[in-house]
Structures are given as structure tokens and as C-alpha cells.
């Protein structure tokens, strides 16, 4: 299976640069994974594809303002930092630009010294481990100095940082939003619950590894970066009861999907557990937990597009993407949605 099998041509103007005023007013494409049949709808009508007894699984991770701009101590050299994951206490794995100015021992000052980081090591793919020093509470300082780490294909400034959070974001730790969840409002979720659909929370802190381009020709040779996830006992119980009663488990987003598939055993039982996952789902994968997926439209040749293709078949998915381009759907993080069920 070649990476190029997942390429499609996307006009630049279809990349959504700003969130819609009303989260739930985005368009919705329904793709039948079995027949490949396509319907065009509005996200407000997502309830029409759900049934009483179904279980909707959402990722309640919260994006941290992980992009910092500072200067190398003792010089005027400007440095951009992206927090990827907390390793221990005040040591973080980070992405630093420009890397050539970030050798071990380099100190970087943010906010006129409010926060100071020292590079202590260079790790995989040139990422830097940085030890931070500060007075006060790190999260409060980060909230004051940091910016939302919007993907590079979004060039517009975000006016309201809450628009890059889901309405149910709770546990801080992500470097990117679980964007399928951005379409839900609190009112829409309440309506869904009132019709007898259970809503389950899992947590997966999204790292940039999820979005890294696949640089190998052979899909199976790609290595995913690991991300931390949590499945709580009460939530696992609801999912298992849903499956046992013959109802469907529908994942909101690829991150929820990867969490469920990582924590489900070979007998199809979702376990309450936490840990790191580097699961890579591509065509040929046999799903153990999910029956359906709500997701956005993903980058060409991306691991996320491969995951969607594993669920609905590559031919069906690539045809649906061709249709989405033709119908001028909005793509990527702030774009429109698709439901595969």
C-alpha cells in the first residue's frame, strides 16, 4: 500500500481559515461505509444518524496555549517554541525554531524573564528537552504568554481562542484540538442525550505526531509518535454495555477512535486504563470497538485519511473526498464534517 494512494488534489481556497459563527452550522457529509453512498446534510441534523441506545464517545482533552515566542538570553535572537509533551515536573519536549540556535545549555527568556527555559537535551527528530524556571503557577504563566498552536495551514489570526477548544474540553495537555468535536454545541449535545444516546468521555492528549506527514512510500513503514490517553472505569462500562446490548459505539474524531481501539482487548472489551499509544490504523485494520465515526476532512496522504479509509474502504473514501472538493466543502480543522455509519 503506497502513501500516494491517499493523495487528492485540494484547491487552496477550500482550506477553512476561520471557524463558523455557529459551531453546528457546518455542512455534514454522510458516507455509508458499506455501499459508498453519499448524502449531503447539515451538522445540525446529526441526530438523524443516531439511534436511542447508541453511545457517542468524545475526547475531553483541552488544548494548551503551547506556542511561545522568546529570545535567546544574552542576544536578540528570536526563538519560537512549541510545547509537545510534559515529561516530568517542569521538563517538556518541545519543537524549537530555529533549531541551530538551540543547542544544549541555551537559555531562552519569555515575557521579559517571566518564564525562562534551558535546553538540556536533543531527542528524536531534533526535538528539544527544556527545563523551565519561573515564579508562580506554570499554567497561569502559559495562559498569559502562550498562543494557541494553530496548524500551519491556518494563516488567519484566531480572534477567540475558545473556538479552538471543544465545548467539553476539560483535561489540559494537547498541542492540537480534536477537531471533529468543534462542531458540537452544549445545546446539541443535550438534545442528543435527551433522545437516549449515551455520551462517554475519554481523554487523549493530541500531539503533533498525529499530523506529521507520512514520508515513506510504503504506508506500513510509517512510525506514529506516542500520545497519552485515559479511559475511566465508569466510561468503559457504558461502552461495554452498549456493545453487549447490540447498539452502536460512534467515535467523535480519530483521537477518540485511536483511544478506544488502543484500550480494547481482543475480545472486544474496552478496558479502564491509561498509558501511551502509538497505534497506526490503516486499511486492513480490524476494528475492535467502534461502529461509526464522525470526523473532519483530512490532509492528503495523512495518517488520519488512512484511518478513515480503514473504516469505510479507500475507494469509497477517496470518491467521497472527490465529491467534497466538487461540492466545495470546507476542509481541515475549521472545516466541515463527515459521518461514516
Q: In the prediction, which pLDDT does 128 show?
A: 95
Buried b (16+ CB within 10 A) or exposed e, 257-275: bbbbbbbbeeeeebeeeee
**Partners of residue 230 on adjacent β-strands:** 203, 274
Distance CA 200, CA 251 (A): 10
Tell me whether residue 22 is exposed, middle or buried, using C-beta atoms within 10 angstroms of its C-beta: 0 to 12, 13 to 18, 19 or more.
exposed
Longest dimension (CA), the chain: 65
Eight-state DSSP code of residue 147: B
Do residues 50 and 192 touch, judged by C-beta distance below 8 A? yes
Q: In the prediction, which pLDDT does 211 show?
A: 66
Using one digit for the tens of pLDDT, what is the confidence trace for 104-150?
Answer: 999 999 999 999 999 999 998 889 999 999 999 999 999 999 999 99
Distance CA 248, CA 251 (A): 10
Q: In the prediction, which pLDDT does 319 show?
A: 98
The stretches in the chain having pLDDT less than 70 are 210-211
Cell numbers for 20, please give them: 463558523
* CA distances to 6, 162, 199, 224, 322 from 3, in Å: 6, 34, 35, 14, 17
* CA distances to 40, 88, 128 from 338, in Å: 9, 38, 36
Distance CA 181, CA 293 (A): 11
Do residues 251 and 257 touch, judged by C-beta distance below 8 A? yes
- State the DSSP H helix or E strand holding residue 39, giving kind and residue range, or none if neither: strand 38-42
Using one digit for the tens of pLDDT, what is the confidence trace for 72-91?
Answer: 998 889 999 999 988 988 99
Question: What pTM did the predictor assign?
Answer: 0.93
Tell me whether residue 75 is exposed, middle or buried, using C-beta atoms within 10 angstroms of its C-beta: 0 to 12, 13 to 18, 19 or more.
exposed
Distance CA 129, CA 123 (A): 7
Distance CA 105, CA 118 (A): 6
Q: Is 168 helix (H, G, I), strand (E, B) or coil?
A: coil
H helix intervals, the chain: 138-145, 186-194, 233-244, 254-263, 303-312, 314-326
Amino acid at each position: 500500500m503506497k502513501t500516494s494512494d491517499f493523495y487528492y488534489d485540494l484547491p487552496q481556497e477550500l482550506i477553512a481559515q476561520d471557524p463558523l459563527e455557529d459551531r453546528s452550522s457546518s455542512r455534514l457529509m454522510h458516507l455509508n461505509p458499506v455501499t459508498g453512498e453519499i448524502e449531503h446534510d447539515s451538522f445540525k441534523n446529526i441526530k438523524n444518524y443516531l439511534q436511542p441506545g447508541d453511545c457517542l464517545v468524545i475526547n475531553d482533552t483541552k488544548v494548551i496555549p503551547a506556542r511561545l515566542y522568546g529570545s535567546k538570553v544574552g542576544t536578540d535572537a528570536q526563538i519560537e517554541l512549541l510545547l509537545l509533551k510534559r515529561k516530568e515536573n517542569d521538563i517538556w519536549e518541545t519543537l524549537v525554531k530555529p533549531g541551530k540556535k538551540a543547542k544544549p545549555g541555551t537559555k531562552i527568556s519569555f515575557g521579559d524573564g517571566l518564564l525562562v527555559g534551558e535546553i538540556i537535551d536533543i531527542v528524536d527528530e531534533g526535538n528539544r528537552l527544556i527545563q523551565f524556571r519561573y515564579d508562580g503557577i506554570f499554567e497561569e504563566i502559559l495562559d498569559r504568554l502562550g498562543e494557541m498552536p494553530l496548524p500551519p495551514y491556518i494563516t488567519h489570526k484566531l480572534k477567540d481562542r475558545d473556538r479552538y477548544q471543544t465545548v467539553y474540553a476539560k483535561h489540559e495537555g494537547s498541542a492540537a484540538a480534536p477537531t471533529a468535536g468543534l462542531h458540537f454545541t452544549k445545546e446539541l449535545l443535550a438534545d442528543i442525550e435527551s433522545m437516549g444516546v449515551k455520551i462517554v468521555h475519554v481523554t487523549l492528549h493530541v500531539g503533533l505526531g498525529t499530523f506529521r506527514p507520512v514520508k515513506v512510500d510504503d504506508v506500513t513503514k510509517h512510525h506514529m509518535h506516542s500520545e497519552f490517553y485515559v479511559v475511566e472505569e465508569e466510561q468503559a462500562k457504558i461502552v461495554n454495555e452498549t456493545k453487549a446490548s447490540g447498539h452502536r459505539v460512534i467515535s467523535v474524531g480519530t483521537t477518540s477512535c485511536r483511544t478506544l481501539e488502543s484500550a480494547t482487548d481482543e475480545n472486544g472489551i474496552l478496558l479502564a486504563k491509561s498509558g501511551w499509544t502509538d497505534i497506526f490504523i490503516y486499511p486492513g485494520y480490524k476494528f475492535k470497538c467502534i461502529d461509526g465515526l464522525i470526523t473532519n476532512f483530512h490532509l492528503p496522504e495523512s495518517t488520519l485519511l488512512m484511518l478513515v479509509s480503514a473504516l469505510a474502504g479507500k475507494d469509497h473514501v477517496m470518491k467521497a473526498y472527490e465529491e467534497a472538493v466538487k461540492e466545495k466543502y470546507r476542509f481541515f480543522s475549521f472545516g466541515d464534517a463527515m459521518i461514516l455509519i
